[in-house]
Structure 1
Amino acid sequence: MLKPFKVEVFQEERLLLYLPVSFNRDSIPRSITLGTRKVEAECRTHPNGRNVIGISSPLADALHLPSGVGSLHLHQVEEELYLGALIGVFTAGFTQFKMNPIGERSRMFQRLLAVQGTLGVIPFVFGEHDIQWEDGLIHGLFHFGDQWERHFIPFPTVIYDRLPNRRSEKKRSFLSLKERLQGEYGIPWYNPGFFNKLDLFERLAGDEEAASFLPETHQFQSISDLERMLATYRHVYVKPANGSLGNGIHKITYDRGKDGYFCRFKDGDQQVRLLRFKNLESLVHSVLKGRKFDSFIIQQGIDLIEDDHRPLDFRVHTNKDDEGRWHVSAIAAKVAGSGSVTTHAKAGGEVKVLSELFAEDERHVMETRLKDAAIRLSHSIEANMEGYVGEIGFDLGADASGRIWMFEANSKPGRSIFTHPSLKAEDILTRKLALSFGVFLSRKTIEELVP
């Protein structure tokens, strides 16, 4: 990763910036830019031969640089010096509570912003109500030390989309805001939009790099579709096309011996239920409950490897770094709860690291296969989806032959696996990389603006 420089603000009447002695420059910068705020200022190499960024207090004020910022990247293009990257983390669900300004997700955002000092970036959280269009400023949420603070900050160089749900991203006001920030201000968004399961599978099915990892998946159009797939595979899954957290997933099996159809699912009280039906028509009406067929998908069932007779799959996180390269940043197994349809924690699932499940040689083979699949799938998703994709959370499975299957890919992956005590380093790494990609995208955007 690129190394940032320490920042020191000093008292001086002039708009003045001291450059670190190790900073390579082709010419003396004449202007300083933070986000969308540009200030003409005098620049010199640090007079004391120090390798730090010195910023006069009037310049810091003119740039709206928060006092808690301790380190920054520098990027020069011709005679303009860019500080940052300034990364706006866009979300919704704000509260009036100072200790928890983003509700139950406040801790997650606090941990994300906590890595800023080692990266030389300025991340802040904001929502649509925080934008002051007439002033070109945002009343952003920062976390310095042990507390949340609000500061006015220029519009960011890039925006990291962390909207909590599909309902938020479909709001007309959000779509208008996003179009304006992208169109009028040229600010790119990364990780925009939740993936639609069916749309994603259909796009990847035509990609040779990805197709071998995909179970057969179709939009639910008729009962005959379900009947055909049950005849081909021993079981299938019916899933909401836009579901999350394992909600609404039904495992359907036909038992020839008992001449009946069995449906296993999690009810509204998070209890696992198993129901028997004499025919598919009654099963489908029970599952859909009046909803349209095409709001669900049907997916081939895979006989997964097991731990103590409990099926398991794998959560694999991939992230892009500050040079735009994909990395596997975390791998964990999720073992299904007793009788559960999914491996989610709310259904009794348990997180384990690979060393808890496999002997050393087996662990190495499985890890290699999972990493290879995740990197290949990341490149395919990036090539086949719109927008800038910087992180993905994969739900992958392995069958008895060792073949890897992709069940889902999440553009805004949850972080439940990081409750495992052996994944603390991966927890930090994924947060660092989520912001490091903002550095890459910021530099790319700046360089594209230069004629």
Structure 2
Amino acid sequence: MLKSKVAVQVISPGILPDDAIMLGDAYLRQWKIPQGQPIMLKFGAFRHYVKVVPVERFDGMRIGQSLARKMGLISSTTLRIRYRQENATLSVGPLIGVLISRDDPEARDRPFGTITMFCKELVDACEAQGAHVYFFTPDHITDNFNTLEGWVYSDGWRKVPVPAPDVVNNRLTSRKLENRPNVQLFIKETKHRHNSVVFNEKFLDKAEVFDALVKDPALVRYLPESHVLRGLQVLKSMCSKHNTVFLKPVRGSLGKGIIRISRLDTDSYSAQYATTLGTRRQHFGGIDKLYASLAGKMKTVRYQIQQGLHLIDIMGRPVDFRALVQKNETGKWALTSIVARTAGNHHFVSNLARGGTLSTVKEAVAKSNLSGSNAQDAPGKLQRAALEIAKGIDAHIPAHFGELGIDLALDASGRVWLLEVNSKPSKNDNTPLQDKKIRPSVRNMVRYARHLAEF
């Protein structure tokens, strides 16, 4: 059986016309590719009739420079090939397009800012697995939806015309950009015209996730009581049931704007506000006064009010956990990594942007106030919860996701709770790469794209 991953050589102009490619003769025999008559060459949205010239004792493919440029290839590469007799189509790929928020053509070494290292890592992972990737922003989308401008890497970053891809990974980090009409139309049209697959196609907000998962009896045990804060009565009801509640912006991230409300006595409340410098406190002599202080914020921010949890802590600093779950080469959810995050001093949220620190789950649990069998069972419980919640998102939210960041917590009894789900897990350059190794999370992304494109 011949391998599907082949070296694709771009050869000098004048040797091969645009309507011909060279291919090892063993492939022609195995796949019964006809000689001398045109077949369709497919690369993403690119379609072109070519005749195949067999080459003895050769296990690769050769294409002319002019044809390569029409395909968006500026140098020799490694791709996977597949031939289907029923429609006489030779497909090469997969072609992966990563939709990112912004670029800076002037910054040649870091055109994508803090995610540039991730982008180069993805290029390397594609080269290793036989795939081709480019990066594009909403501004690169054209009106014809067949081609666009994309950033590729070949001895440096450069922009070239590229076909619409087989698979789009939506890495937009702004809802405003994601909701732009040209982005929404591009997603719709590439699916319809080219059978492209788009994953992580939309942001999730906290209320949407909890409203969806609460319908699943198997997942309710992970959900703290949670409601959209629509008025004073909701605040009164939650504060009467729980000594502590959290207000979280429905569309917030990185711990921004979170407020912790604690009942001090019958009608006295403390509100703690998460800021970059630490926690700011305010006292209120009554629930009405507390609500009045929130009314101004509620005009511009929609809050979710959530039951406060007695999280495990390390020397008084709360600990939670971030699990990264991704779909694998068979399209099934798998756990890629899980880390513990311990809040910084004077903070009640654990985000790194707020001075939090990372450690392994075992290290954090060992240092925490969790003990006995609860501590021993914690890693397994967290892993199970992450996978079950990911499957629940798939089942109950009508959108396609390929990776999710799932924030979990453990309480003092060892029970697992869901804090939130992020459909755009961070890819910033804050994780140093050792010896230019490709992280499992990046390899898995390419494997899933290959699965989607059937390569």
Give the equivalent residue in structure 2 for 1:436: 447
Task: Give matches, 1:345-364, under 5 Å.
Answer: 345-358=352-365
Which residue of the other structure, out of 292, 300, 304, is the alignment partner of 2:307?
300
- Give per-residue Cα distances to partners, 1:346-399, cap 9 Å, x unaligned: 222111112432459987632221111111111111111222210000000111
Please tell me whether the aligned partners of residues 39 and 62 of structure 1 are also in contact (alpha carbons under 8 angstroms).
no
1:89–1:318 Cα change, 3 Å: same
Rounded Cα–Cα distance in structure 2 between residues aligned with 1:23 and 1:253: 72
Q: CA deviation at 1:316?
A: 0.2
8 Å CA contact 1:20–1:53 kept in 2: the answer is no
Partners in 2 of 1:417 and 1:127 — Cα distance?
19
Name the residue aligned to 1:7.
Answer: 8
Contact 1:8 1:55 in 2 (8 A): yes
Match of 2:251 in 1: 242
Tell me, yes or no, if structure 1 residue 70 matches structure 2 residue 40.
Answer: no
Q: Residue by residue, what CA displacement relative to the aligned partner does 1:9-64 show, whole Å, maximum 9, x if unpaired?
A: 3453241231485899543163221111122223366511x443444445434533
* Structure 1 residues 4-403: aligned runs within 5 Å: 4-11=5-12, 12-14=15-17, 15-19=20-24, 21=26, 25-28=30-33, 30-43=39-52, 46-48=55-57, 50-67=58-75, 70-78=77-85, 79-97=88-106, 98-134=108-144, 136-145=146-155, 147-256=156-265, 260-267=268-275, 270-292=277-299, 295-358=302-365, 365-403=377-415
| 2:218 counterpart SS class | helix
Kept in 2, the 8 Å contact 1:94–1:101? The answer is yes
1:209 is paired with a residue whose SS is: coil
In structure 2, do the counterparts of structure 1 residues 76 and 7 end up closer, same or farther at CA, with 3 Å as the change threshold? same
State the AA in 1 paired with 2:357: E
Rounded Cα–Cα distance in structure 1 between residues aligned with 2:67 and 2:187: 30
- Measure the CA separation in 2 of the matches of 1:210 and 1:242: 22
Report the Cα offset of residue 200 of structure 1. 1.3
Shift of 1:73: 1.7
Asked whether the 8 Å contact 1:140–1:151 carries over to 2, the reply is yes
- 1:209, 1:380 within 8 Å by CA — same for their partners in 2? no
Amino acid at match of 1:9: V
Once residues 427 and 47 of structure 2 are traced to their aligned partners in structure 1, the CA distance between those partners, rounded to angstroms, is 37
Q: Distance in 2 between matches of 1:62 and 1:290?
A: 52
Give CA-to-partner distance per residue, 1:245-296, whole Å, 9 cap, x none. Answer: 1111111110228x521111123x5432122111122223323434249811
Do the aligned residues in 2 keep the contact of 1:265 with 1:341 (CA within 8 Å)? no
Paired residues, what number?
Answer: 437
Q: CA deviation at 1:90?
A: 1.2
Paired letter, 2:23:
Y
Relative to structure 2, which stretch is displaced further, 402-411 or 205-214? 205-214
For residue 368 of structure 1, what is the amino acid of its counterpart?
G
Percent identical residues:
25
Q: 1:347 to 1:276 in 2, by over 3 A?
A: same
Instruction: Tell me how far apart the structure 2 counterparts of residues 230 and 252 of structure 1 sit (CA, whole Å).
Output: 8
- Contact 1:223/1:281 (8 A) holds in 2: yes
Note if contact 1:28-1:44 (Cα within 8 Å) is conserved in structure 2.
Answer: no
User: Partner letter of residue 27 of structure 1?
Assistant: K
Cα distance between partner residues in 1 of 2:375 and 2:96: 37
Give distance in 1, aligned partners of 2:40 and 2:215.
48
Q: What whole-Å deviation, never above 9, does each CA across 1:128-152 have from its counterpart, x for those lacking one?
A: 332344593222101234x211122
**2:165, 2:25 → 1: CA distance?**
24
- Distance verdict in 2 for CA 1:96–1:288, change over 3 Å: farther
- Where structure 1 has 5 or more consecutive residues not aligned to the other structure, the ranges are 445-451
Q: TM-score, normalised by structure 2?
A: 0.87
Q: In structure 2, how many angstroms separate the alpha carbons of the residues matched to 1:400 and 1:157?
A: 47
Of 389-398 and 366-375, deviating more is: 366-375
AA matched with 2:450: V
- For 1:440, give the aligned amino acid: H
2:369 paired residue number: none
Q: RMSD of aligned C-alpha atoms? A: 3.0
Counterpart of 1:449 in structure 2 is none
Distance 2:121 2:373 in 1: 35
CA gap of 1:23–1:377, structure 2 versus 1, over 3 A, is farther
Q: Could you tell me which amino acid in structure 2 is paired with residue 393 of structure 1?
A: G
Whole-Å separation in 2 of the counterparts to 1:141 and 1:416: 18
Deviation at 1:218, TM superposition (A): 0.6
Deviations 1:167-215 (A, max 9, x none): 2112233333333333344433110111011011111111123222111
Specify whether residues 283 and 328 from structure 1 end up closer, same or farther in structure 2 by C-alpha distance, changes over 3 A only: same
Q: Distance in 2 between matches of 1:396 and 1:99?
A: 36
